[in-house]
Structure 1
């Protein structure tokens, strides 16, 4: 239920190039807080890496 925790974990996973799991964390953060700008930007950025 903690958005900040999902954002931090997603950022950590992204930093070690674990893009799929990072994307899952950012999407979970968005499920809790749909207008979170950090999570929205991260989701957009990660989708480019996964194409």
Structure 2
């Protein structure tokens, strides 16, 4: 038995995907705060 087969008997491989996107909206997604591209981080919260 190969090392990979031995590992797969006890574990299931899971692959995740993370996506970053900029939406063309006037406000932030989960509040009514202004969305200003290029503004300093956390300046409109």
TM-score normalised over the length of structure 1: 0.24
- Tell which has more relative contact order, 1 or 2 (C-alpha 8 A, sep 6+): 1
Larger Rg belongs to: 2
TM-score normalised over the length of structure 2: 0.25
Counting helix residues as a fraction of each chain, which structure ranks higher? Answer: 1
